[in-house]
Structure 1
Amino acid sequence: MGLLSWFGRKSSTQIIDTPEKLAAAIGYGHDTYTGRAVSGQQALQLTTVFACIRVLSESMGMLPCKLFEQTNNTRTPATKHKLYSLLTIAPNNYMTAQEFWELLMVCLCLRGNFYAYKVKVMGEVVELLPIDPGRVSPKLGDNYEPVYTVTFKDGTTETLTQDDIWHVRTLTLDGLVGLNPVAYAREAIALGLATEEHGARMFKNGATPTGILQTANQLSEPAFNRVRDQFQENHQGMANSHKPMILEMGLDWKPISLNAEDSQFLETRKFQRDEICAIYRVPPHLVANLEKASFNNIEELGLSFVNYGLVSYMTRIESRINTGLLKPSDRGRYYAKFNAAALLRGNLKARFESYGQGINWGILSPNDCRELEDMNPREGGDLYLTPLNMTTQPESNNNADKEKA
């Protein structure tokens, strides 16, 4: 099966051999107690899910991923390695590196797995082509080697090995297939969708307490239909709010005292928003929920997002790059690493404070800092300082040793 027939041929034919594929084909997802079926596309319609996935994917897309070469105690960017440009600039001819990492995160957040076909030349990966996770079925072979059954766009299937497929997965129960977050959080997502639908229908019907029209007289069927149609036309919906009501035939309007707060509608929406944030480990303030944020804890919440939200994904992806994209002979010599410091790009004060501490403690030189700021080196800027109170005094130590002798 050639690559052109895989990625370039357009066809609506699709083999449906599992209940999940059938549900996806007819627009349904995982059944829930609310009666709503939740799929990945439907989950994105919930504002909090979309916001959390956008925060995670765009944050990961901002972080540069570079390939380094380690020789003895020296680490340098491996710019001559083919994989360096794939990770830093473009993994294929139609995506940038940022778009690629964003797509990877979206697949992990919605499906728990990301797959890409590895195009190789002379044994080295020269291109990465993403594959829809719904078209891949992974399993362990008899020799415990992963095999991937891929359904192509023309309806045919082919079984490939991990030499052809780059697989990144989230939390797993069998070591091979990542758990689908939407499937396991379907009840929380469905409840959030249901409350949004309830609120939308409430506003559609007027966003005011409902009521009843009451009369002591008996209405004929034509009169009943005329009153009903006239009332719906003139008084239902937001556009007709606060219009004066004209009643006849002894009709009397009696409102029903019921509001959203009494039915715990708003509280339910708030709880579902926090619960979904917990599923994706995104602090609520990053999805515009500042209810529990303050000047005292906002910085700690941001650090928590990096340490417990992003770092786990970074290390997961780095490990899969080292084991899945590098040749066995290159492992241990080359390694991939994301630069989380890029998240401080918009915080000039924090960057320069960290540079100052690095220079004062001899960790960085001025030219190191200028390089991080995309500035040219200056003369004499390669010196590393050593604090006076941290230096040793070899002459004093030698004299003390002589006195003891």
Structure 2
Amino acid sequence: MGLFDFLKKKEFNPRIFSSLTSHSAPIMKGEDYLRAYKGWVYTCVKAIADEVGTLDLILQTRKNDQWQDVDQHIILDLLNNVNGFNTFSDLLKGTESYLDLVGDAFWYLPKGDKTNKPIEIWLLNPIKITIVKSAEKIIGGYIFHNERGDKIPLETSEVIRFAEFNPTSRFNGLGALQAAAVAVDVDRYSAEWNKNFFFNAAIPSAVLETEEDLTDEQFERLKQEWNDRYTSLDNAHKLAILQAGLKYKPAQLSQKDMEFLEQRRFSRDEILAIFRVPKTILGITEDVNRANAEASEYVFAKRVVQPKMQFITERLNEFLLPMFGLDDRFWRFDFESPVPQNRELELKENETGLRAGYMTINEVRGNEGLDPITNGDQVFIPFNLYPVGGTETKSVVKVTKQTQDEKHREFVNKRVRFLVTEIKKQSPEFKRVLDKIIRQIAERIADFTKAINKDAVDDLISLIYETEDGDLLIVKEQTFRTLQRSFVKGGTASMGTLGVDNPFNATNERAVEWLDQHALETAKSVNGTIKERAAEIIREGVRDGFSNKEISDFIVELTDEVTPANADRIARTEVVRGYAEGSLEAYRQSGVVIGKTWLTAGDDRVEEDCLMNEDDGAIPLNASFSSGNSAPPEHPNCRCVLVPYTGNELELTMFDKLEARIKEELDRVSITIDKQLREGRQEAKDEATGILTEAKKEAKKIVSESVKEAKLEKKAILKDLTKIREEALETKYGKEE
């Protein structure tokens, strides 16, 4: 007799259905989404949030229609120290996690009493936020429900809201988890069912049949005994003995019938697809090889991480910048793209270009930042890789101005592009150093307590040089780091190009001495330029009647007016110089290079001195070019490069040229010395004549003054004698009378 036949014959007893009642799955809402932060949801959300947490914001300002990076600003100070408990990376990770889970995230930015600008940033739990709707502003404010149950009102001016688009509500965002709710529920219930499978001995809900009526007492006793003996993990697979005509009828399908594993894979893949996270990002290696793994990482960075970084950056441009009074027409946040370069594509393009005959070996080497090689500018065709235009390659190539241009001009341009990357890295570092010196000077001027007048100029200027040694050391250390980095790169690349097995030695005495000496020279020049400009501002400020605080502010403005251009110029010059000197040192260490040539960029912007150096052709390694330099740069922003010369049939000609140039230089020096001697003799004669003339004038003046004084003295003496005589006569004749 089946279950339903049994039910037809018996009166309805609701207790029979106590374990068969079916329920609909509850719908997630509110904090349910936060509690779902586990399993595949956790791995997806955390994978995305960790990447977004690496967002490196760059503050920029527009000047002369160009965006320039700003390294120091109060808004950057806030982002570098968001509050006393979290880092900016923590803030970004939490923000992205809330966006993926519930579609909303809120930053609370309390403001200072004096500045009325944000002083901290706190991430609020979006579930605890109630949006106050407004007919005029749409959102009139927010109410935050803290853990104590207090309702804290917040103004829109102190909250930044991040929200994913929701087509059904303008007040609530739609997170990826909400979109994946059904798949997440299915996966969660499957996991719980599988857990209960082991806990309940693989015996799902079932029916015990009997043709007899059971009293309430019998029903409860049977239920209790069954649960005690055959449920829980410890009772798995025990033998059940049924009495009094009881029959056991399973009421559910087995795991196999349910295709349990396939269902879980399907749910997992659906969740990953909604969150747009590739399997490789989560460490799942099924159906994965290196090629599609790299492609997955590229797509993840481009289609998922970068748009999310862009979303956060745009919200900050729209709402955070105005809190600091920054106009978004002239200020903005930018960020470094997280999308990796497609290295495989670059290599394939080089290989295809070389094999197809539209790229030369030196062009490929230039793309990789390597020096050119001899005969590397010939184009090969696929058929047996013969050179275009012939089947022979001469082992000796005459090095002339024309062949140098043909062989290395394109390489020069590519070397410049290679150096640009390093210049972009070092320029902000130099700006940071220069800004630090300027701000220290400004602080000392602001703290000046004496009255500001003309007598105070010298005291103010002396403050500029108060920390001369320390400022000099700061600039020198930065210059040394830049030179050393470029020096090592240039030397290493050049050794690789020459095919020398020995590693490049950047720590020998000659190299270290050059790095230290040149870093000091650059530091003195840079430091002197800044302080001369600051002294000029002080003189002008005192003359125009400004206070010490106003003069200090003018000096701080140098960080925007002077340091960006100076920092870029210094970085460019020192990177090029370090790279060239490193290459020259590598040529000395190689044992195969006997000379060097100076090559320009070959356009109308090349300076005359650089062209003159290029005309020198190949010269010995330790010799100097016509300008007096041993290697580029010749001037700030110089784009020239140094190329090795390994010797050929023109070797004797090269030294003959050097000897002729040395003789020409000696002749020129001799002529100059003779001219200077002649000019010196004439100057000495003129100076002696001038001295004699002045001496005569002075002697004549002295004599004239002496005669005048003598006459006056004589006159006075005569007057005294006359008076004495008169007195004597008066006495004499008076007595006679």
Q: TM-score scaled by structure 2?
A: 0.40
Partner of 1:148: 141
Alpha-carbon distance in 2 for matches of 1:33, 1:219: 30
Alpha-carbon distance in 1 for matches of 2:181, 2:118: 37
Partner of 1:376: 481
Which of 40, 53, 69 matches 2:45?
Answer: 53
Given that 2:209 and 2:249 are in contact with CA atoms closer than 8 Å, whether structure 1 keeps it comes out as no
Partner of 1:134: 127
Are the structure 2 counterparts of residues 134 and 248 from structure 1 closer, same or farther at C-alpha, using a change threshold of 3 Å? Answer: closer
Partner of 2:158: 164
Task: From the two aligned structures, give the one with the greater strand fraction.
Answer: 1
Q: Within the alignment, does 1:264 sit opposite 2:256 as a pair?
A: no
Q: Within the alignment, does 1:206 sit opposite 2:197 as a pair?
A: no
Q: Give how far 1:36 is off.
A: 4.9
Superposed counterparts of 1:227-266, under 5 Å: 233=228, 236-241=231-236, 245=239, 259-266=254-261
Gaps of 5+ in 2: 1-22, 348-365, 370-413, 429-477, 487-574, 580-600, 606-737
Alpha-carbon distance in 1 for matches of 2:308, 2:263: 30
1:166 counterpart letter in structure 2: I
Are the structure 2 counterparts of residues 394 and 80 from structure 1 closer, same or farther at C-alpha, using a change threshold of 3 Å? Answer: closer
Between 1 and 2, higher relative CO (CA 8 Å, sep ≥ 6) is seen in 1
Alpha-carbon distance in 2 for matches of 1:255, 1:141: 61
Q: Give how far 1:317 is off.
A: 0.5
Partner of 1:101: 92
Task: From the two aligned structures, give the one with the greater helix fraction.
Answer: 2
Partner of 1:332: 329
Partner of 1:319: 314
Alpha-carbon distance in 1 for matches of 2:330, 2:368: 27
Q: Give how far 1:376 is off.
A: 3.5
Q: Give how far 1:315 is off.
A: 0.8
Q: Give how far 1:74 is off.
A: 5.8
Are the structure 2 counterparts of residues 369 and 164 from structure 1 closer, same or farther at C-alpha, using a change threshold of 3 Å? Answer: closer
* SS at structure 2 position matched to 1:119: coil
Given that 1:207 and 1:237 are in contact with CA atoms closer than 8 Å, whether structure 2 keeps it comes out as no
Are the structure 2 counterparts of residues 251 and 287 from structure 1 closer, same or farther at C-alpha, using a change threshold of 3 Å? Answer: farther
How many positions carry a matched residue from both structures? 351
Are the structure 2 counterparts of residues 35 and 133 from structure 1 closer, same or farther at C-alpha, using a change threshold of 3 Å? Answer: closer
Q: Give how far 1:190 is off.
A: 2.0
Partner of 1:125: 118
Q: Give how far 1:77 is off.
A: 4.2
Q: Within the alignment, does 1:308 sit opposite 2:303 as a pair?
A: yes
Alpha-carbon distance in 1 for matches of 2:165, 2:287: 29
Q: Give how far 1:200 is off.
A: 1.5
Partner of 1:178: 173
Alpha-carbon distance in 1 for matches of 2:205, 2:155: 60
1:60 counterpart letter in structure 2: V
Partner of 1:24: none
Q: Give how far 1:56 is off.
A: 1.3
Q: Deviations over 1:323-379 (max 9, x none)?
A: 1111253423332233344x87xx9x99xx9xx96855615344656899x993225
Are the structure 2 counterparts of residues 119 and 357 from structure 1 closer, same or farther at C-alpha, using a change threshold of 3 Å? Answer: farther
Given that 2:200 and 2:236 are in contact with CA atoms closer than 8 Å, whether structure 1 keeps it comes out as no
Given that 1:82 and 1:124 are in contact with CA atoms closer than 8 Å, whether structure 2 keeps it comes out as no
Q: TM-score scaled by structure 1?
A: 0.68
Alpha-carbon distance in 1 for matches of 2:192, 2:328: 52
Given that 1:118 and 1:165 are in contact with CA atoms closer than 8 Å, whether structure 2 keeps it comes out as yes
Q: Deviations over 1:9-66 (max 9, x none)?
A: xxxxxxxxxxxxxxxxxxxxxxx95335452133224x11111111111221133333
* SS at structure 1 position matched to 2:290: coil
Partner of 2:56: 64
* SS at structure 2 position matched to 1:262: helix
Alpha-carbon distance in 2 for matches of 1:140, 1:252: 64
Q: Deviations over 1:134-165 (max 9, x none)?
A: 2333366444464223134353353622x221
Q: Give how far 1:123 is off.
A: 4.2
Q: Within the alignment, does 1:193 sit opposite 2:188 as a pair?
A: yes
Partner of 1:92: 83
Q: Give how far 1:260 is off.
A: 1.9
Gaps of 5+ in 1: 1-31, 386-390, 396-405
Given that 1:57 and 1:102 are in contact with CA atoms closer than 8 Å, whether structure 2 keeps it comes out as yes
Q: Give how far 1:271 is off.
A: 1.4
Alpha-carbon distance in 1 for matches of 2:204, 2:129: 50
2:46 counterpart letter in structure 1: R
Q: Give how far 1:313 is off.
A: 1.1
CA-atom RMSD in angstroms: 4.7
Q: Within the alignment, does 1:78 sit opposite 2:78 as a pair?
A: no
Larger radius of gyration: 2
Q: Deviations over 1:300-322 (max 9, x none)?
A: 11111111111121111001111
Given that 1:79 and 1:85 are in contact with CA atoms closer than 8 Å, whether structure 2 keeps it comes out as no
Given that 1:112 and 1:179 are in contact with CA atoms closer than 8 Å, whether structure 2 keeps it comes out as yes
* SS at structure 2 position matched to 1:93: coil
Are the structure 2 counterparts of residues 233 and 340 from structure 1 closer, same or farther at C-alpha, using a change threshold of 3 Å? Answer: farther
* SS at structure 1 position matched to 2:321: coil
Q: Give how far 1:224 is off.
A: 9.8
Partner of 1:16: none
Alpha-carbon distance in 1 for matches of 2:160, 2:368: 38
Alpha-carbon distance in 1 for matches of 2:143, 2:208: 61
* SS at structure 1 position matched to 2:71: coil
Alpha-carbon distance in 1 for matches of 2:272, 2:84: 35
1:41 counterpart letter in structure 2: L
